[in-house]
């Protein structure tokens, strides 16, 4: 690593023709199918896995004999990276497909606009309106608390922080990103139990739990984005006599706004699907609760779990609820992208 070998211009070495990897790929898959035939007969997954292994070996060996060591390493890396991607794509795509295909049976305007009051047994009516409202409430409360807190904390760390305090905060924010969601739930549960007694149930408890989870994620992503703002920009602003705080607001934050928005969206995405802390703090309700400070409230993840646990036609509602949740996240994401595009200074990537 330390010393880079004197570069040999790549173009001078012999290279494989561009069709060669594809030929090797087809050959590997055929060979994999043949091997499977000797066993119990080919399956799609079997051909894929064995074919992938054969291809990796074959392309590396071919490339090494024709193109030499450096290029063969490059091909091996390309193959492994692509394979990792494909391998991860399979479960993820199957997951999305399952949610889509199972969710679509019950998903629709009536699902989005009704709650679960009076729904029992095999009734196929009922929906997730109350849970959507609940999720927006709980996530909204968490966002109201953690987005400003997180951004200011990041500003402190990047622009002001020096010495032990800043170091301690950096380390502890990192540690905080690792707080398990159920611990945050237990914290909110005990906090309100001690302050307000056992009878108090409200959306705010879940919001606090999620805020604990969300804040460090906001801090970390905003911090990283602020650090990417070149110091030249700050110095230029100071040189023009702009006070530090205005520099931060108008130069640093604006330059980083796209990254910050994405970071905040990732943070929201991280908490919006949390089930466990909400399960033990806000529980579930059958009807819409418009009051964030009083009474149980339904949230989409908990709704999905409870509906799944009930079985029967409720399972369809569970999948439709999951689909709704993904759509909400998608919309938030879209908004974030628009916002960041609108605010981004020209020329940023």
Q: How far is the CB of 268 from another protein (least distance, A)?
A: 8
Asked if 190 is part of the footprint of another protein (rule: CB under 8 A), the reply reads: yes
Which residues, 303 to 322, sit near another protein by CB under 8 A?
A: 304-305, 308-312, 318, 322
User: Is the separation of the CB atoms in 135 and 299 below 8 Å?
Assistant: yes
Asked if 56 is part of the footprint of another protein (rule: CB under 8 A), the reply reads: no
Residue from the set 54, 216, 222, 264 that interacts with another protein by CB under 8 A: 216
DSSP 13: S
User: Is the separation of the CB atoms in 202 and 295 below 8 Å?
Assistant: yes
Q: How far is CA 236 from the centre of its chain?
A: 36
Q: Which stretch binds another protein (CB under 8 A): 21-29, 57-65, 106-114, 212-220?
A: 212-220
d(CA 313, CA 333): 31
Which residues, 125 to 154, sit near another protein by CB under 8 A?
A: 133, 136, 140, 148-150, 152-153
Asked if 344 is part of the footprint of another protein (rule: CB under 8 A), the reply reads: no
Q: Which stretch binds another protein (CB under 8 A): 24-32, 56-64, 105-113, 229-237?
A: 229-237
User: Is the separation of the CB atoms in 325 and 273 below 8 Å?
Assistant: yes
Of 220, 223, 221, 244, the closest CA to residue 234 belongs to: 244
Q: How far is the CB of 243 from another protein (least distance, A)?
A: 2
Q: Residue 42 to residues 24, 47, 56, 91: CA-CA distances in angstroms?
A: 19, 6, 20, 20
Q: How far is the CB of 97 from another protein (least distance, A)?
A: 10
> Which of 30, 98 has the CB closer to another protein?
98
> Which of 108, 312 has the CB closer to another protein?
312
Asked if 171 is part of the footprint of another protein (rule: CB under 8 A), the reply reads: yes
Residue from the set 34, 88, 124, 348 that interacts with another protein by CB under 8 A: 88
Residue from the set 29, 58, 214, 248 that interacts with another protein by CB under 8 A: 248
Structure tokens of 176? 């905080």
d(CA 90, CA 101): 16
d(CA 200, CA 202): 7
d(CA 191, CA 194): 5
d(CA 113, CA 108): 9
Asked if 250 is part of the footprint of another protein (rule: CB under 8 A), the reply reads: yes
> Which of 28, 221 has the CB closer to another protein?
221
């Amino acid at each position: 690593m330390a010393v880079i070998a004197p570069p040999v211009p790549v173009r001078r070495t012999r290279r494989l023709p561009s069709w060669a990897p594809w030929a090797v790929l087809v050959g590997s898959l055929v060979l994999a199918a043949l091997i499977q035939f000797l066993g119990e007969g080919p399956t799609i997954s079997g051909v894929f896995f064995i074919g992938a292994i054969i291809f990796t070996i074959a392309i590396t060996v071919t490339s090494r004999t024709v193109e030499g060591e450096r290029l063969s390493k490059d091909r091996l890396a390309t193959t492994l990276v692509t394979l990792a991607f494909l391998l991860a794509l399979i479960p993820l795509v199957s997951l999305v497909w399952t949610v889509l295909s199972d969710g679509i049976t019950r998903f629709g305007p009536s699902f989005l606009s009704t709650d679960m009051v009076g729904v029992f047994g095999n009734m196929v009516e009922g929906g997730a309106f109350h849970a959507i409202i609940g999720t927006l409430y709980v996530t909204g409360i968490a966002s109201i608390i953690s987005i400003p807190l997180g951004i200011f904390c990041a500003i402190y760390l990047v622009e002001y922080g020096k010495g032990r305090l800043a170091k301690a905060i950096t380390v502890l924010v990192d540690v905080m990103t690792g707080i398990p969601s159920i611990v945050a739930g237990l914290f909110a549960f005990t906090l309100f139990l001690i302050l307000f007694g056992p009878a108090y149930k409200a959306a705010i408890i879940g919001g606090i739990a999620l805020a604990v989870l969300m804040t460090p994620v906001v801090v970390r992503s905003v911090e990283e984005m602020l650090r990417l703002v070149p110091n030249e920009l700050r110095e230029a602003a100071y040189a023009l006599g702009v006070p530090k705080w205005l520099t931060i607001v108008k130069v640093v934050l604006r330059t980083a706004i796209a990254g910050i928005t994405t970071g905040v969206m990732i943070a929201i995405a991280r908490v919006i699907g949390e089930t466990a802390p909400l399960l033990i703090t806000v529980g579930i309700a059958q009807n819409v609760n418009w009051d964030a400070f009083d009474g149980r409230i339904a949230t989409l993840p908990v709704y999905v779990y409870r509906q799944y646990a009930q079985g029967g036609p409720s399972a369809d509602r569970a999948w439709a609820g999951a689909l709704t949740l993904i759509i909400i996240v998608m919309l938030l994401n879209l908004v974030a992208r628009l916002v960041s595009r609108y605010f981004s200074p020209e020329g940023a990537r």
